[in-house]
Amino acid sequence: MTKKLFPLFSVLLIAAMALAACAQPAPTEAPVAPEAPVATEAPAVEAPVATEAPAVAEAVTINLWTKEGEADGGLQYVQALADAYTAAHPEVTFVVVNKEVETLREDFQTASLAGAAPELLWTVSDHLGPFTTADLIQPVDGLFDLTKFVGSATAAVQSPDGQTWGVPVSNGNHLMLIFNKSLMPVAPATTDELLTMGADFVAANPGKFALAFNETEAFWFVPWLGGFNGKVFDADGVTPTLNTPEMVATFEFLNQLKAANIMPAESNYDIMDAALKEGNAAMIINGDWSLGGYKEALGENLGVAPIPQVSATGTYPAPYTSGVFFMIPKELEGAKLAAVVDFVNFATSYDNQVDMVAKLTRLPALTEALSADVITGDPILSGSAAQMSYGTPMPTVVEMRCVWDAIKPELLPVYNGQTAAADAAANAQAAAETCISGLE
């Protein structure tokens, strides 16, 4: 019988030899020592107010999940920040992981379920709803001095009971009118002006577009709804109000805007983005995250202004503002919590906030940093700040997910005239209601 088994073992042995050869060269579980962070070029390593800094230098590893990707330099910025902190506090090391926004939410939920949540999140305020509903993060009121931040930023992550669930890193994440000064020297101030200037532009520049925006996402729709004085939720903040006269008026306006033939037939993010970069669109509507890239592409010709005032109502469109926040998992405590708190204070210090503004072209969350020269002296950032003042905080309740998903499929059919505005509003409301009832 032993003889019978010989070939089986020989198979395994051959496989073992073929692969054991692979296993050898690695001496031991060599931990990837990241190249010693160069403290000099790191953002301001001035020792932050180390009030609660861990008394004993206990070595901790902080897993930091961030929604910042590589494309706009966000991830590189987060990594540099972490490296700088480690340089000053060698006992604290970071594993910075980038996860796409939705992935970050899903993975954080699952990891929490298995009791293996990361120590710190750097993410958008939308996640507040799911995370607090599932009881996965802790309030930060007792841990930080939140008064030093811009009021609208902390307000975005407050629950109705007054607790604050995140520490703001940047403020904004809002849409604005971005234009190419070489094609359109001055931005229109009202929608009537937008239509006439747009028509003139298209007549003078055949084949180009006066305006383009992402027509496939509801995030680009809500500013206009605000311009018509509409809101997606009732006063209670959870009952959807999508079948309203304001909603219908917004749909009708956007349908007319499309019918004016100043925009591409159907535009998504990539089309709008390429159109501005290639000089095929005079104006687009995009968020503060894109400013860095456009600065590079258009240089001096880049202009930023508020989205034009809605002539019919006299109200400015109100883009959603949210910004980016640190969130701390529920179970975090002890030395790890102390290290996380200290790092967050470091990341939101004046010097680092100003540094972030320069690197990412985003508005800071720290009130003090708002008056820094880098903002007041920069027409683009001040344009962004001007738009921000018309913004409205994005709802963070879990019901918002249903509202997004209910509006999204209606957008293009209404813009293109396939669905009547009233029907689309009714559809969206019905879809949102069923979806919310399914959330249990």
Partner 1 sequence: MSTSTLTSDKAIVVPTRHKRSFFKSGREDSPFKRIIIHIVLIMACIVSVFPVLRVLAVSLRPGDRLMSTDLAIIPPDATLESYRIILFDKPFLGWVWNSLAITIATALIGVILAATAAYAFSRWKFPGRSVGLVFLLATQMIPASMLMIPIYILAIKLGMVGTYRGLVIAYCVTSIPFSVWILKGYFDTIPADLEEAARIDGCSQLQAFWRVLLPLSTPALAITFLFNFMSAWNEYLLARVMLGSSESLMTWPLGLQRLQGQYATQWGQFSAGSILVMIPVVVLFLYSSKYLISGLTLGGVKG
Partner 2 sequence: MITSEVILKSLSEVGSTVLLILAGTFVVEALLYLVLVKWLKYKYALPFMLLAPAAIGLIALVIYPLLWELRLSFTNMSLRAFKNPEFIGLKNYVRVFTEPVLKQKMFFPLLGQTVLWTVINIAFHVGGGLFLAMLLNRKMKFKGIYRTLLILPWAIPQVIAVLAWRGEFNFSYGYFNIILTKLGLAPVAWMTDPTANFIAMCLTNIWLGIPFMSVTLLGGLQSISTEYYEAAEMDGANGWQQFKNITWPLLQPVVTPAILLGTFWTFNNFNVPFFINQNELESSDIMVTGLFRAAFQYNRYGFSAAFAFVIFAMLLLFTIFYTRYTKTLKGTYES
**Binding positions for partner 1, rule: CB under 8 A:** 3-8, 10-12, 15, 18-19, 22, 32, 63, 67, 69-72, 74-75, 95, 97-101, 103, 107, 110-111, 113-116, 214, 269-271, 273-275, 277-278, 280, 286-287, 289-290, 293, 297
Q: Which amino acid is at 46?
A: E
277 contacts partner 2 (rule: CB under 8 A):
no
159 contacts partner 2 (rule: CB under 8 A):
no
CB 343 within 8 A of CB 96: no
CA distance 303 to 186: 8
Segment contacting partner 2 (CB under 8 A): 7-15, 62-70, 175-183, 250-258? 7-15
268 contacts partner 2 (rule: CB under 8 A):
yes
What is the DSSP secondary-structure string of 318-361? --EE--EEEE-BTT--HHHHHHHHHHHHHHTSHHHHHHHHHHH-
CA distance 104 to 97: 10
271 contacts partner 2 (rule: CB under 8 A):
yes
What is the DSSP secondary-structure string of 215-270? TT-GGGTHHHHHHTT--SB-TTSSSB--SSHHHHHHHHHHHHHHHTT-S-SS--HH
Q: Report the candidate in 171, 145, 138, 139 with the shortest Cα–Cα distance to residue 156.
A: 171
What is the DSSP secondary-structure string of 28-69? S-----PPPP-TTTSS--PPP--SS--SS---EEEEEEE---
257 contacts partner 2 (rule: CB under 8 A):
no
* Footprint (CB under 8 A) of partner 2, residues 375-434: 398, 401-402, 405-406, 408-409, 411-413, 416, 418, 430-432, 434
Q: Which is nearer to partner 2, 17 or 55 (CB)?
A: 17
* Footprint (CB under 8 A) of partner 2, residues 62-101: none
CB 43 within 8 A of CB 84: yes
234 contacts partner 2 (rule: CB under 8 A):
no
HSE (CB half, 13 Å, CA atoms) of 214?
A: 18
| Residue from the set 49, 203, 265, 389 that interacts with partner 2 by CB under 8 A | 265
438 contacts partner 2 (rule: CB under 8 A):
yes
CB of 265 to partner 2, least distance (A): 5
CA distance 194 to 308: 7
Q: Choose from partner 2, partner 1, none: what does 435 bind? Cβ within 5-8 Å by kind.
A: partner 2
Segment contacting partner 2 (CB under 8 A): 11-19, 221-229, 341-349, 361-369? 11-19
Residues that bind partner 2 (CB under 8 A): 1, 4-5, 8, 12, 15-16, 19-20, 22-26, 29-30, 32, 102, 106, 109, 113, 130, 133-136, 216, 264-268, 271, 398, 401-402, 405-406, 408-409, 411-413, 416, 418, 430-432, 434-435, 438-440
